[in-house]
Amino acid sequence: MTPWMALCIVVPLGGAAVSLALHGRLLAQRVIGVAAVATTVALALAVLVQVDHDGRISADLGGWPVPIGITLVADRLSALMLVIGTVMLFAVLVYALGQRAQDERSPWYVPVYLVLTAGVCQAFLAGDLFNLFVSFEVLLMSSYVLVTLEGNDRQIRAGITYVVINVIESTLLLLAVALVFAATGTLNLAELPRRLAELPAGVALGLNLLLLLAFGLKAAVFPLFSWLPDSYPAAPSPVTAVFAGLLTKVGVYAIIRTQTQLFPGELRTLLMVVAGLTMVVGVLGAIAQSDMKRILSFHIVSQIGYMVMGLAIGGVAAIAATIFFVLHQIPTKTSLFLVEGIVERETGTSSTTGGAAGMARRSGPLALLFLLPALSLAGIPPLSGFVGKVALVESGFARDAWVVTAVALGVSLLTLVSMVKIWSGVFWGDVPGRTAATDGTLGTDAAEGRDDRDGERPVAGVLRRHPLMSAVTGGVVALTLAIALLAGPVYRYCERAARQLAVPAGQVGGPAAGEARGENP
């Protein structure tokens, strides 16, 4: 048994420990932070390679067998999430260090961020419900700190909403976990499907709904989403980026896990309704906003709807589409927030009603870095969002889920509308306080390539002023393009992952597997 999985959690925790001990030495902290997360990325890749070869790997921590010890399990879905998650965490960490902001100077940033990394890794590798709950707590605790890192009034206000809603979520989850244990006598995800099937239908349904409620709160589905657009925008941009890209997706991951493996296809109608409403309400909320960060935050909600939709449609094809969509969504969403961070750094605002106008003129490349993921989000071919949406829509048609599919298509259009709103408010137009006389060719939308050279002349190199931030943003955007470019192999991997989810696990640890070795832990 290879220790890669356990090390995915231990390495960031160890990094957090060392960087805490180096309290006050920022440079050393940063070096350790970057090194630890980079190592975690490498470990995650090792897990992915091994999982794709072996199918599913598990490790009993400390050699304690299943009913006593903690089991880490990685299947294809968790390995994929692990890799994309750690890559995003790495990118955002480097970006944040490149940002000369307050959070980067805080001695807390690196240690807390590393704990967050450990929590995310643990969530994806958790082999039982309780461990999943614990990892949610680990990542939530650190996210509380990150949300309120600057400690200004706005953050504290938003932080209170965030903390309260998440404490409620944790309580519900703990309650659900306790009830599941009371009803079935196990929390092992591999063991549960069999035991849950023996329960009376009503009990199983109750457990299912309670788990869905808890995870739905975390994933911000309708009608449990209103905390998200309220709290995320208040956090520093790199923090929002990783929250937007990852944390809600951990909730989605948990929903996928429970709805495919524990309660396969039981709540299809409910999920369908939730998916449709999440998409519509999210996108309408986005259109009504006039701040780039808030628009993007509402879009997190809207896009979650697509993932739930795939889950509601059910079947291997739809689940594969969902997994692909999550994979596309994480870097796309992250990169949009990273671009927003640069805009905010440059102009001091992220409002779409002036202030930040004319970014395309100041920096064409930056506009391009926004445009690509924005179009991808709306599902314009040939970007990754298009592939994901086509797959979702196809599986919807194949299963005669006409209404929700039609809603999904309509919401795509509205997504485009709100992206255009950001584009016209932030990137297009003239730089405020500077007349258009500086160049004659008033920015035509088709000419970003040429436009950037025109726009760069007056205010030299927005991107060059923030080299690290720009490089990271560029890298993440390149990753979204790579997902589109390699859509074939990536999609086939997603299909393998979906097929694996369709088959109940059950291999890890048979009933009452073995007795305790040695003595009590």
Partner 1 sequence: MSRPRDSVILTTSVNGLVPVLVLVAVVVTFRGHNAPGGGFAGGLIVAAAVILRYLADGPRAVDRLPVQPMTLVGAGLCLAVAVAVAPLFVGGQVLESYIWTLDVPAVGKVKVVSSAGFDLGVFLLVVGAVTGMLAAFVEADDAEAPDVVGSAILESGPADDRAPDGRVADGRLADGRSSADPTGGGPGSRR
Q: Residues interacting with partner 1, by CB under 8 A?
A: 1, 3, 6-7, 10, 13-14, 16-23, 59-63, 111, 518-521
Spatial separation of the C-alpha atoms in residues 33 and 90, rounded to whole Å? 9
Give the separation between CA 502 and CA 435, rounded to whole angstroms. 60
CA distance 224 to 213: 8
Q: What are phi and psi of 488, to 5 degrees?
A: -60, -65
Least separation in angstroms between residue 378's CB and partner 1 is 44
Cβ burial of 182 (10 Å; 0-12, 13-18, 19+) is exposed
Residue closer to partner 1 (CB basis): 11 or 309:
11
The residue among 19 and 350 lying less far from partner 1, judged by its C-beta, is 19
Task: Give min distance, CB of 145 to partner 1, in A.
Answer: 12
Angle at which helices 129-147 and 153-184 pack, to 10 degrees? 170
User: Residue 22 or residue 277: which is nearer to partner 1 going by CB?
Assistant: 22
How large is the C-alpha radius of gyration of the chain?
A: 23
User: CB 114 → partner 1: shortest distance, Å?
Assistant: 10
Neighbouring C-alpha atoms within 13 Å toward the C-beta of 257: 28
Q: How far is the CB of 102 from partner 1 (least distance, A)?
A: 18
Nearest to partner 1 of 18, 196 (CB atom): 18
The DSSP letter of residue 424 is I
End-to-end Cα, the chain, rounded Å: 21
Nearer to partner 1, 107 or 355 (CB): 107
Q: How far is the CB of 161 from partner 1 (least distance, A)?
A: 21
Q: Please state, as a whole number, how many other Cβ atoms lie within 10 Å of the Cβ of residue 134.
A: 18
Output the furthest CA–CA distance in the chain (Å, rounded).
81
Token code pair at residue 246:
């990852």
Please check whether residue 113 is in contact with residue 145, taking contact to mean a CB–CB distance below 8 angstroms.
no
What minimum distance in Å lies between the beta carbon of 226 and partner 1? 29
| Smallest separation (angstroms) from partner 1 to the CB of 62 | 4
Residue with smaller CB distance to partner 1, 128 or 448: 128
Q: How far is the CB of 58 from partner 1 (least distance, A)?
A: 12
For partner 1, the closer of residues 26 and 61 by Cβ is: 61
Query: Based on CB atoms, which residue is closest to partner 1, 63 or 514?
Result: 63
Closest to partner 1 by CB, 12 vs 216, is: 12
3 state DSSP class of 100: coil
Q: Least separation, in Å, of the C-beta of 439 and partner 1?
A: 52
Lookup: tokens for 254: 């948990």
CA distance 392 to 386: 10
Query: Are 395 and 321 spatial neighbours (Cβ–Cβ below 8 Å)?
Result: yes
Residue 449 region, left (φ>0) first, then alpha (ψ -120 to 50), else beta? alpha
